[in-house]
Amino acid sequence: MSTGATPLLEVRDLCVDFVEGPRVTPAVRHVDFTIAPGETLALVGESGSGKSVTALSILRLLPYPQARHPSGSIVFEGQDLMTAPERVLRGLRGNGIAMIFQEPMSSLNPLHTVERQIGEALSLHRGLSGAARRREILALLDEVGIANPEERLNSFPHQLSGGQRQRVMIAMALANRPRLLIADEPTTSLDVTVQAQILALLKDIQARRGMAILFITHDLGIVRHMADRIAVMKDGELVEQGAVAEVLAQPREDYTKRLLAARPIATAPPADRRAEPLVEARDLKVWFPVKRGVFRRVVGHIKGVDGVDLTLRKGQTLGVVGESGSGKSTLGLALLRLVSSKGEILFRDRRIDGLSRKAMRPLRADMQIVFQDPFGSLSPRMTIAEIIAEGLSVHRRGLAPETIEDRVVKSLKEVGLDPQIRFRYPHEFSGGQRQRIAIARALVLEPELLVLDEPTSALDKTVQAQIVTLLERLQREHGLSYLFISHDLAVVRALASEMIIMKDGRVVESGETEAIFADPKQEYTRTLLAAALESTGAGVDT
């Protein structure tokens, strides 16, 4: 980090309002911070705190006239960006200041290859073309750790893993050698090993290039490893800032203390081996055929799930852990008979793997799923009441309208939401509230089995802790059984009495959760635990 007196970036008295007709909503209020050349400043806070709005303001990327800046200055290398003409900003974006976004799948163009997307930035800003441009693209892909970069030039985003897509985004951001990189939640949806790799990559590139980083996150554990200084935001205001070691060791503000304390606590009771099995799988396989040629002949298989055995007991939680692509979600869908599979699946000691769709229908109400992204799984055109009641109309036909209304109200109360919200729409709620709504939709059918597919990975740490507490309470009150799929080991440890570790479709280790954490037998498990600890600083704390 440079100790020079002149900041690279200086933000003073920044205010941002969002205007909708006569209504003005303050989003950011009187924010001040500086970033020195080569320094990393972490901007930390919960969703809605104003972090991303502040970052987008730096490059003047907020929509006008919906977003306005009633006051403030943003000075980069002596140039006030708030008053700079558009041609100056165009020359600065991607050159002096580059940005990496949270979700690379939505940030990358799905219709363009890797070569075209990185090459576009090189052509536009550096005038490179032909062989020179291709050499630079290959050098960038090599720098960000893409294996066999020549083979990836013609790949489309959907053909890459989450970690590879994020590396491509980093390559695009680095293409024009920026002096400041804004990284907006760049690792939130990645599993712990890939997260650790991306963080290490950013630190390595920063050290070699002398680049400054504005690192936006809600995870204080990451900040511990990444940043020199920290600025904590709440409700659009900076409530505390200073050196990372100082703020994390002795936070002054109650809000900062609450963020530091917001992690799931390991409270899962030991597994009760006397409990009856609810779900069992024996030699379960889900193989996806690979077809090639004009006649689309099968030339091989992708083994999503490859010979898995498991037992989930009544009233207990089985954690399923592994990296992206390990087969976790496919396993959950197979157990619910939502993808084709081979092998035995037993539910309440009854084989269901050979049942027809019609024969499965009476069991559907007893087997529900909650997905990772509640916004994507809730229909934007339906009210909350309609979303929650939809399952009742399918699986509990004949119920009177007033009975359905009562069940919707009861379900919302159980997840800690005011029943009056049932007349509103999903876009009006935060991520944590939407996840509670998704849980209420599953609970309204009074299921025995709940498959939870990464239900907390996109949420702030404080909201994660709330959802874990909610799930623990609901399990106690209703005797629910959870298949909890996650790459977040701290959350799994808090909820699951037993766990299985998956890699390449196979179970590489299984047993009681605490026993695995205390003494992992497999090298892969040890790697996962080490990556969680390295990337968050708190991934496996009790």
Beta strands in 431-470 (DSSP E): 449-453
Q: What is the pLDDT of residue 515?
A: 93
Structural domain tally of the chain?
Answer: 2
Q: Can you give the pLDDT at residue 540?
A: 45
Q: Is residue 458 part of a domain?
A: no
Residue 356 within a domain = no
Distance CA 220, CA 226 (A): 10
Token pair belonging to 179? 């002096």
411: domain range?
Answer: 378-446
In a domain, 73, yes or no: yes
Asked whether residue 225 falls in the same domain as residue 84, the answer is yes
User: Phi and psi dihedrals of 25, rounded to 5?
Assistant: -110, 115
**CATH code of 233's domain:** 3.40.50.300
Query: Of 236, 261, 286, which one is at a domain's C-terminal end?
Result: 261
User: Rounded to two decimals, what is the model's pTM?
Assistant: 0.77
At 425, list the tokens: 């729409």
Last residue of a domain, one of 228, 243, 261: 261
Helix (H, G, I), strand (E, B) or coil at 315: coil
Going by the DSSP 8-state scheme, the letter that residue 49 receives in this structure is S
Amino acid identity of 229? Answer: R
Residue 327 lies in a domain: no
Per-residue pLDDT of the chain (542 residues; tens, 9 = 90+): 544 568 999 999 999 999 888 888 899 999 999 999 999 999 999 877 899 899 999 999 998 778 899 999 999 999 999 999 999 998 899 889 999 987 666 778 989 999 999 999 899 878 888 999 999 999 999 999 888 899 889 898 888 877 788 889 999 999 989 999 999 888 876 777 778 888 888 999 999 999 999 999 888 878 988 999 999 999 999 999 999 999 999 999 999 998 888 776 656 778 888 999 999 999 999 998 877 877 788 888 888 999 999 999 999 999 999 887 789 999 999 999 999 999 999 999 999 999 999 999 999 999 999 987 766 788 989 999 999 999 998 888 889 999 999 999 999 999 989 999 999 998 888 777 888 999 999 999 999 999 999 888 777 788 888 888 899 999 999 999 999 998 888 889 999 999 999 999 999 999 999 999 999 999 999 988 887 766 555 444 43
Residue 229 lies in a domain: yes
Terminal C-alpha separation, the chain: 33
Which residue among 424, 446, 468 closes a domain?
446
CB 420 within 8 A of CB 470: no
Residue 349 lies in a domain: no
Residue 175 is encoded by which pair of tokens?
Answer: 């293409």
H helix or E strand, kind and range, residue 318: strand 317-321
Q: Same domain, yes or no, for 91 and 224?
A: yes
d(CA 342, CA 340): 7
Q: Does some domain include residue 358?
A: no
Domain membership flag for residue 75: yes
Residues 83 and 218 in one domain: yes
